[in-house]
Structure 1
Amino acid sequence: MAEELRRVARVVLLDPDDRILLMHGFEPDDPASRWWFTPGGGVEAGESLLEAARRELAEETGITDAELGPELWRRTCSFPFDGRRWDQDESYFLGRTTRTGTSTTGHTELERRSVAGLRWWTSAELSASHETVYPTRLAELLRTLLDDGPPGSPVLLETERV
């Protein structure tokens, strides 16, 4: 992996019915290569992880009123996307919102070329799905979160390299 990991803040956003909001991504040069993932992105200079999570959530979903925290999970991952390899150190924060309407008007140029849409998933739908979801154990992690509540300290997930 690269020496420098990109710091990323992600949001496990739940609505009042405990559905999770996921983004449907695809490889810009290969639209058949698709997956689902949580909103979030890179931390900018001077931002805290929570500030980055809030900004990314607003940009990617249009949701600005979510309550964020605590940090649930941490993961290191590496994957090819849009012609380069991305090496990331990701922190996942719990988010709660009463708003289920989303907007993609804040998407970056790359997101406009690589995000097919957003969808709210129930835990059961996520568990039954055969689609690719990142992190790969998200269905199990979500079920544990809903059953047991947030962990006392962030859980370190296994490194994923695609």
Structure 2
Amino acid sequence: MLKNLGVIATVFVVGLPAIVLLAGQMNLLAGRRPDDLGVRDGLLKPPVARSWNSVSSQAERHEHTDYHLIAPLRYSGDAGAAFARLEQVVAAMPGATVVERQPGYLYAQFQTRMLKFVDDVEFLLDAPAGVIHMRSASRLGRKDFGANRQRLETVRQRFDAAAPR
């Protein structure tokens, strides 16, 4: 009986993490790119109110919880220069791949190093308001353990640090 428990414990402690790591390395945990990304009626994709795996600066315009709310990026001066600065910040971040660039819209994917989870991140320039709206969402799971919020706050910090003085 004790020997069987040792085998079971070994499978859970060694085998299961190895299987998950292998699945990640084979891109089985990347998920599928949503087909409803982009700007629709001046808005980014809304958060799913029953999931805690996304944050959006436009969440208040949709059904949401407080978890989904995040402030947009604020800038002063030239909107085009601010958006170009944002693109440079995003492109330089670890795991980031800029997928789509349009005037006033940026879409990037962020992939984690070990398990290769992919999150979709979007930015939308609102020049009259002097802000850049942002959204970050995990493709898989119902919870992100704060990863998307932390990512966008890191973007905010680097964006502000790169602002002309």
TM-score with structure 2 setting the length: 0.28
> Normalising to structure 1: TM-score of the pair?
0.28
Larger Rg: 2
Q: Which has the higher contact order (CA 8 A, sep 6+)?
A: 1
